[in-house]
Amino acid sequence: MAHKFEIWKDKRGEFRVRFKYNSETMFSTEGYSSKSSAQNAIDSIKKNGPGAAVEDNS
């Protein structure tokens, strides 16, 4: 699968989420204190992302 979410723990012990496409990180989230909060972030992105507006600030 080319697209994937990855939960990882940073040096400070916080859980973060990366979204990858073909091994390239497209974005990562803020740090979360629990793994379940990181999973909630993934669920929110999946649910709300497809309908999100695009804001062009160029």
In this structure, is residue 56 part of a structural domain? Answer: no
In this structure, is residue 31 part of a structural domain? Answer: yes
CB 15, CB 38: distance < 8 Å = yes
pLDDT, one tens digit per residue, over 24-45 is 999 999 999 999 999 999 999 9
pTM to 2 decimals?
0.84
Domain range spanning residue 28? 3-46
In this structure, is residue 54 part of a structural domain? Answer: no
In this structure, is residue 52 part of a structural domain? Answer: no
CATH number for the domain including 42? 3.30.160.160
List of E strands, 1-58: 3-9, 15-21, 24-28
Q: What is the pLDDT, as a whole number, of residue 1?
A: 67
In this structure, is residue 27 part of a structural domain? Answer: yes
Mean pLDDT for 4-21 is: 97
Domain count, the chain: 1
In this structure, is residue 24 part of a structural domain? Answer: yes
